[in-house]
Structure 1
Amino acid sequence: MAKHLLLSLLLLLAPYLMQAQDDLLDLAEALDSTEAGYVSGTFKATRLVNGHSVETNGDQELLFLISHRFGTLNSGAYNLFGLDQATIRLALEYGLTDRLTLGLGRSSLEKTYDGFAKYRILRQLQGAMPVTVTGFSSLAIKTLEQQLPERPTAFSSRLTYTHQLLIARKFTERLSLQLSPTWVHRNMVATRQDENEVYALGLGGRYKLTKRTSFNAEYYYLLPGETADQYRNALAMGFDIETGGHVFQLIFTNAQGMVEKLFIPQTQGAWEEGDVYFGFNISRVFSLKKEGDW
């Protein structure tokens, strides 16, 4: 537990630690005030599909995110092909700076609370830095009541940590790709065969269709192990639709969960069997800057 808390703390302290980096980062900071040469809009939203993108909130911007997943399409007409069933996550994300974002959320699935920090370490710069790199660290807590109350579970056993390095490049105005090496640690697992440490590699991208719409796809490959043998890789596809201050994301995925703890090591759905969840993300950004701060 201590090493994961330390990693989370290091991510929170990253803005200060990065001041001691090499000349390339110093150059980037010097250009930051003019935005000269920087590549913007790698993705439309802070989520690629299920997982996070490299994007962070702007300085003093508050994002309200509603994520919704219906039941599986193969649940039949009686359940209106999944529309009678639903899970939901509500979240608030705040940009302490235009590089550092903190967020809190609550999912109905397993009654999970989660908190995270994202820090944009590097930003794609024409002729100098080929990619944008963002560090992500989260803590999730399962609060679902125990099936055996006479055998209480310690609080620490309910915790799951996720650490990611999000690496993305905007190749053209239409095409952006992202690589997401991922480490998930679960303090307690169901059986002795389950793995406390789960490693995965996320791959995803966005292709812009029109000025306000894009097609997005995302795949998390579980590295070989017991978890990979028992569960499936999460595959999600969807469309981003920008409407003023909102970004509306329509999603099809074999993962019911909407936080890393759930959709990376616990996906059970099979696309070929129709275990596909339709859902959406909708986000609204509010600027909390005072007029004199502009």
Structure 2
Amino acid sequence: MQKLVLGLILVTALQTGYAQDDLLSLVGKDTLKRARVTNAFKSSRVINGHSIEFLGKGVLDFRILHRFGEVSDGISNLFGLDQASMRIGLDYGLLNNLTVGVGRSNLGKELDGFIKFCPVWQSSGPGAFPFSVVLVGGVTLNTQSWSDTARKHYFSSRMAFYNELIIGRKFSERFSLQLSPVFVHRNLVELEKEENDVYALGIGARFKLTKRIAFVADYHYIVEGLDKDIYKDPLSVGFDIETGGHVFQLHFSNATGMNEKAFITNTTGDWGKGEVRFGFNLSRVFTVRRPRH
């Protein structure tokens, strides 16, 4: 009798163990799902250029970009603080992977607009993809009065266009990196010897220092289309500071312009000569339309 009881206990234990294994295997199948990797950057822009990050669907981003004068101007101009260039913009998330935006800069009284789309997310889990791919297309419109009033001008001459491919990856919780080939076309250039088409390669990086502070760098190498004796590669470095719903960014840059056409084709400041500008970017997001569940 004792042997029979022991046998029943052993069989029951084995059956229970198999049942638990089956349940665990089912749980594993349900929980192992493909997941999008987020927060590669804290903002939809690195500093000047677009990042691989997107606004959520129904989210509005009010952005103020502020750039002072050159530090090399010295104490007479309070190291550039007596001057200022700025851009005010509104970006809106139509979908989680589709953002549109408009902005206006006081430099050249320039309007700009863009559309940004992500066909492929970096992801983890089954079928994971190692990096994100982002496509950006934009247009700018110079509204400043023509200096040469005797010449016949066309509306199309005020326009420029850019197309950009961004490939980026969040390597760890601390470090993210992206590469972005950019093509800029200007319908009108100032000098006959200048080219209408400009090609550049952008590099953006973020290194997280603390929970709310990160070091960021934004560099664009001009591959072709500009006279390197006059124009310089735009380089910006700074810090992202997250404060609740705000992302506050302090940075130094040799670029004055704050849209792709402006900072890629019109940067003349030389870092080696101290021709850099202190500036800040302020981003405040609002949920305009909450997603339905």
| TM-score, normalised via structure 2 length | 0.86
| CA positional deviation for 1:158 | 0.8
Q: Output the CA distance in 1 between the equivalents of 2:212 and 2:221.
A: 30
Other-structure match for 1:218? 218
Other-structure match for 1:192? 192
User: Residue 80 of structure 1: which of 78, 81, 92 is its match?
Assistant: 78
Q: Output the CA distance in 2 between the equivalents of 1:153 and 1:277.
A: 33
The answer to whether structure 1 residue 237 and structure 2 residue 237 are counterparts is: yes
| Equivalent residue runs for 1:101-180 within 5 Å | 101-126=99-124, 128-180=128-180
The one-letter amino acid paired with 1:158 is R
Q: Output the CA distance in 2 between the equivalents of 1:192 and 1:35.
A: 57
The one-letter amino acid paired with 1:84 is D
The range that moved more, 281-290 or 175-184, is: 281-290
In structure 2, the residue corresponding to 1:42 is in which secondary structure?
Answer: coil
Q: Deviations over 1:26-84 (max 9, x none)?
A: xxxxxxxx984321101000110111101111000011000000000011111111111
| CA positional deviation for 1:150 | 2.0
Identical columns (%): 50
Other-structure match for 1:246? 246
Q: Deviations over 1:195-245 (max 9, x none)?
A: 101000001200000011100011100114444443100011000000000
The one-letter amino acid paired with 1:268 is T
In structure 1, the residue corresponding to 2:90 is in which secondary structure?
Answer: strand
| CA positional deviation for 1:194 | 0.5
Q: Output the CA distance in 1 between the equivalents of 2:33 and 2:182.
A: 30
**Cα–Cα, structure 1 residues 35 and 219, in superposed 2: closer, same or farther, change >3 Å?**
farther
Other-structure match for 1:293? 292
Structure 2 contact 110–144 (Cα < 8 Å) conserved: yes
Other-structure match for 1:89? 87
The answer to whether structure 1 residue 208 and structure 2 residue 208 are counterparts is: yes
Q: Output the CA distance in 2 between the equivalents of 1:165 and 1:252.
A: 25
In structure 1, the residue corresponding to 2:78 is in which secondary structure?
Answer: helix
Q: Output the CA distance in 1 between the equivalents of 2:36 and 2:59.
A: 20
| CA positional deviation for 1:182 | 0.4
Q: Name structure 2 gaps, 5 residues minimum.
A: 1-31
Q: Deviations over 1:1-32 (max 9, x none)?
A: xxxxxxxxxxxxxxxxxxxxxxxxxxxxxxxx
In structure 2, the residue corresponding to 1:67 is in which secondary structure?
Answer: strand
Q: Output the CA distance in 1 between the equivalents of 2:33 and 2:74.
A: 52
Q: Output the CA distance in 2 between the equivalents of 1:217 and 1:132.
A: 19
Q: Output the CA distance in 1 between the equivalents of 2:195 and 2:220.
A: 17
Other-structure match for 1:9? none
Q: Deviations over 1:94-149 (max 9, x none)?
A: 11111111101000000000010000111001262110111111000011111111
Structure 2 contact 44–51 (Cα < 8 Å) conserved: yes
Q: Name structure 1 gaps, 5 residues minimum.
A: 1-33
Q: Output the CA distance in 1 between the equivalents of 2:91 and 2:123.
A: 26
Structure 1 contact 198–227 (Cα < 8 Å) conserved: no
User: Residue 47 of structure 1: which of 30, 45, 48 is its match?
Assistant: 45
Other-structure match for 1:271? 271
In structure 1, the residue corresponding to 2:77 is in which secondary structure?
Answer: helix
In structure 2, the residue corresponding to 1:201 is in which secondary structure?
Answer: strand
Q: Output the CA distance in 1 between the equivalents of 2:124 and 2:88.
A: 36
Structure 1 contact 195–227 (Cα < 8 Å) conserved: no
Q: Output the CA distance in 2 between the equivalents of 1:186 and 1:35.
A: 45
Structure 1 contact 162–184 (Cα < 8 Å) conserved: yes
| TM-score, normalised via structure 1 length | 0.85
The one-letter amino acid paired with 2:138 is S
Structure 2 contact 206–214 (Cα < 8 Å) conserved: yes
Other-structure match for 1:12? none
